Amino acid sequence: MSHPCIFIQGPTATGKSQLAMDLASIMGASILNADSIQLYEGLQIGSAAPSKDEKEKVPHHLFQVIPKGETWTASQYEQTAWELLQKELVLRPVLVVGGSGFYFSALEKGMGDSKPEDPGVRAQLEEDLKTRGADQLHKELSECDPEAAAKIHPQDHYRLLRSLGYFRTYGRKMSEDQKLKSVREWPGPLIKVGFWATREQLEPVVRARVEKMNALGFEKEVESLLKEGLESWWPLQSVGYKEWVEVLQGDLSRDSVVDAIVKSTLYLAKRQKTWFQRDKDLKWFSMDQKDQAFNWVLEECGLDLKARKLKDEGQS
């Protein structure tokens, strides 16, 4: 029988990564990324990617593997992650960690094939974005694929152009071709745990994290990417990166950047919470219940507290 797979889900900045590290050290597990931004090379500080020290302590997979300037579809992630997961689960437990809800759903259930759009169509869409603007393109998407448009913000340029480009290329709705399949058969136990937080709990944590990122050189990280000509690269539209791009392009003051990033992060966390709440099989804990979540996962995996204590003593 395969080792257990544990999904650690929830809004950003609630403590998912630390729980994964704590569990991995006890269980001998590896960590698989389910964060759409941490997939990309060069996005270390602003994505809160695992440190070199953390990677040396615990095997990490699919972190910063996509070269600068390139992008992955959700389908590419699902296919790559599922193939890797099946191999890893033969060897050890795997902790899948992140805040990208669709990635978790795709990995758990599988998804339809996602064909690439025609390069010529894509080039025309890039030009249309510059000349017509995102709002007009979003209106076009609303007319041809209302389901996709309802889930995509006009400023999410990557997903907007991807869905619209798919329709222009194939004359079909991407939302229909990407319908999640029936639940796939897992090789072993699947355990799902999540952290939730109130806005009052989360705001000071988010603010402290943003200030720490800035102290570590977040601005220089973004400035370096812009100097490489990557201002149109989709990940730079994500929370934190988008605000620093605006600062560096003169559209936002440095004095306002922390507040702007905090505001965007809290909005993102609200959307993430809404997505994850749809999963009735997910065991929720408050972000201040990390010990309870830790012990619950161990018990669900059959590693009781006595065994954990003995293992701790053996490692000390």
Which domains are delineated in the chain? 5-113+180-315 (3.40.50.300), 119-177 (1.10.20.140)
Tokens of 234: 């989709």
Q: What pLDDT is attached to residue 183?
A: 58
pLDDT interval class at 115 (50, 70, 90)? low
| Residue 43: alpha-carbon gap to chain centroid | 13
Is the model's pLDDT at 19 over the cut of 80? yes
* Position 179 confidence tier, pLDDT thresholds 50, 70, 90: low
pLDDT tens, position by position, 257-278 = 999 999 999 999 998 999 899 8
What is the spatial distance between Cα 215 and Cα 31, in angstroms, rounded to a whole number? 27
- How many Å apart are CA 58 and CA 178, to the nearest integer? 33
pLDDT of 155: 86
- The pLDDT value recorded for residue 174 is 80
The sign of the torsion formed by the CA atoms of 221, 226, 229, 231 equals positive
Token reading at 188: 């072993």
* The predicted structure's pLDDT at residue 166: 86
Buried-state track 88-101, b at ≥16 Cβ within 10 A, e below 16: bbeeebbbbbbbbb
Under the banding of pLDDT at 50, 70 and 90, the label for residue 304 is low
- Percent of the chain residues topping a pLDDT of 90: 71
**Cβ within 8 Å of residue 160, ≥6 positions away:** 134, 137, 138, 141, 152, 154
- Per-residue pLDDT, averaged over 109-138, amounts to 82
Q: Output the pLDDT for position 311.
A: 45
Distance CA(107)–CA(129), nearest Å, equals: 31
CA distances to 96, 97, 129, 206, 281 from 20, in Å? 8, 7, 40, 19, 19
Alpha helices in the chain (DSSP H): 16-27, 52-57, 74-91, 101-109, 119-131, 134-144, 146-151, 157-170, 174-177, 199-216, 218-227, 241-248, 254-276, 290-300, 305-315
Under 8 Å between Cβ of 134 and 159: no
Average pLDDT score over the chain: 90
Instruction: Report which residue type is found at 195.
Output: F
Name which residue leads in pLDDT, 184 or 210. 210
Q: How confident is the model at residue 313 (pLDDT cuts 50, 70, 90)?
A: low
Look up residue 301 and give its DSSP letter: T
pLDDT at residue 72 above 90? no
Average pLDDT of the residues in 51-56: 96
52: phi then psi, degrees, rounded to nearest 5: -60, -40
What is the rounded average pLDDT of the residues 47-64?
Answer: 97
Distance CA 8, CA 105 (A): 13
What average pLDDT does the segment 224-251 reach? 95
Select the more confidently predicted residue: 73 or 113. 73
Please report the pLDDT score of residue 310 as a whole number: 44
Q: Report pTM.
A: 0.80
pLDDT for the residue 76: 87
Please report the pLDDT score of residue 110 as a whole number: 81
Mean per-residue pLDDT, 106-122: 75
* Model pLDDT, residue 238: 93
DSSP, collapsed to helix, strand or coil, labels residue 280 as: coil
- How many other β-carbons are positioned within 10 Å of the β-carbon of residue 236? 21
